[in-house]
Amino acid sequence: MSQPDILSPGIRRPLEALNFFMADMQAGIGPFLGVFLLAHGWQSGLIGTVMTIGGVAGMIMTAPAGALVDATTHKRWFVVLPGICVVLASAIILLSQTFWPIALSQVATAIAGAAIGPAVAGITLGLVRQAGFTLQNGRNQAFNHAGNVVGAGLSGLLGWLFGFGAVFGLAALFGLLSIASALMIPKDKIDDLAARGLETGDNRDGKASGFRVLLENKPLLILAAALALFHLGNGAMLPLYGIAVVATTHGDAASFVAITIVVAQTVMIGASIVAMRMAEKSGYWLVLLISFMALPIRGLIAAGFISHWGVYPVQMLDGIGAGLQSVAVPGLVARLLSGSGRVNVGQGAVMTVQGLGASLSPALGGWIAQGLGYGPMFLILGSFALVSIGLWLVYAPVLKPASAPLQPAPRHAIP
């Protein structure tokens, strides 16, 4: 069975550049949107609601988008479309700060962006196959987090010098660079059957399993439930912590949000590399357990230290949790659905349940903060991950074998 899993520089560099630039395209607007709207007189509950509307739209579309990524032979275009939408959304936010234009911009961006995660995972799997996916996905995520660091740092600097308009302009620029990077990846090097989990020797006739394979895969269902609970607590932590500190200390909003992102994403670079090495050596189970454990500690610290210096431990813990998951979740889903032909719809389905938690989190956190205060809100959000930890430990006998590392296979370079 031929399993090319080492990319030549001519293929690897555009792929990693795509992950670098799409980081700010995906996350560049979100964390700044909350404080931008706060500066324009919005209350925390309404800010959380508009974020939730976009999150729900993206959540609904992610699994169907993953199915389209599985079926299409034009996977690069599922990156191009989100890039265009980010450019348009940035313009809308700057032109109008009323509820419905902002909400509609978030909906359009979320729907278009629903496919970007499955698309990049599918492109990577189609280039390196299952044997090389853990390694290359780890590299992808390191570049993705590095892109967030650079994008956030530039956003903070430009926001301080020129105002929020420059932040949204930068997101639009990164969207254009993401489009260019995606189109530089040679289409003929992407094996569309391998990209959906139909490996050589497994099922090269192109016939995928039915969608019931997702519901019959017990480890996949446990993973989805644990992630949904984790993101219900985690989704609102960054934007609401930024709002809490800015509201309490009246500091510069753009620069503070930039610091929160830079701290977390810098830690994520290291966490993604550690996750890659841990997964290759001992599998994904322990990687994910550690990621779940980070959130309750983060909530406790966030509740006790709403201050500028408190951002460092709060966001370092975010970096550990999210950085480990960025490698372990796509890798484990690809492993669990290998041979089914439904890898990318599986990626989309897991992202959907993650999105369910994350999209409800800002509204839940925003209204709790408005009613009880920021401290109790952070404690409540952090407690959801305790259930994730319980699920992961109770079902360890099922999860550990499914998460075990692959046996080493010979590596072959892609010319």
Q: What is the pLDDT of residues 341-367, one digit of tens each?
A: 788 888 888 988 887 888 788 788 888
Number of domains in the chain: 1
- 64: in domain: yes
**CA gap 336, 348 in Å, rounded:** 14
Which range in 76-80, 178-182, 313-317 is most confidently predicted, on average pLDDT? Answer: 178-182
- What pLDDT is stored for residue 32 in this prediction? 67
- What pLDDT is stored for residue 180 in this prediction? 92
pTM: 0.77
Alpha-carbon distance values, 407 to 95, 256, 402 (Å): 54, 45, 13
Mean predicted confidence (pLDDT) in 294-319:
85
The CATH number of whichever domain residue 132 belongs to comes to: 1.20.1250.20
**CA gap 362, 155 in Å, rounded:** 22
Instruction: Give the range of the structural domain holding residue 385, as residue numbers without chain letter.
Output: 8-195+213-406
Phi and psi at 4, nearest 5°, equal -60, 130
CB 253 within 8 A of CB 308: no
**CA gap 320, 334 in Å, rounded:** 22
**DSSP H or E stretch at residue 412:** strand 412-414
Which range in 114-128, 136-150, 325-339, 379-393 is most confidently predicted, on average pLDDT? Answer: 379-393
**CA gap 403, 186 in Å, rounded:** 32
- What pLDDT is stored for residue 257 in this prediction? 65
- 189: in domain: yes
DSSP 3-state of 46: helix
217-219-222 Cα angle (round to 5): 110
- 3: in domain: no
- What pLDDT is stored for residue 203 in this prediction? 47
Angle between helices 285-304 and 218-234 (to 10 degrees): 20
Structure tokens at 180: 């260019």
The per-residue pLDDT of the chain, averaged, comes to 81
Alpha-carbon distance values, 38 to 46, 264, 345 (Å): 10, 22, 37
- 305: in domain: yes
Lowest-confidence pick of 117-126, 247-256, 281-290: 247-256
Classify the C-alpha dihedral 194-197-202-206 as positive or negative: negative
Q: Where are the alpha helices (DSSP H) in 96-115?
A: 99-113
pLDDT of 228 > 60? The answer is yes
What residue has token string 């892109």? Answer: 147
Cα dihedral 286, 229, 305, 264, rounded to 10, equals 60
CB 18 within 8 A of CB 248: no
Lowest-confidence pick of 168-182, 196-210, 225-239, 265-279: 196-210
Q: Is the pLDDT higher at 82 or at 248?
A: 82
- 200: in domain: no
**CA gap 138, 328 in Å, rounded:** 9
**CA gap 150, 23 in Å, rounded:** 10
**CA gap 268, 142 in Å, rounded:** 7
Query: End-to-end CA distance of the chain, in Å?
Result: 18
pLDDT of 29 > 90? The answer is no
- 415: in domain: no
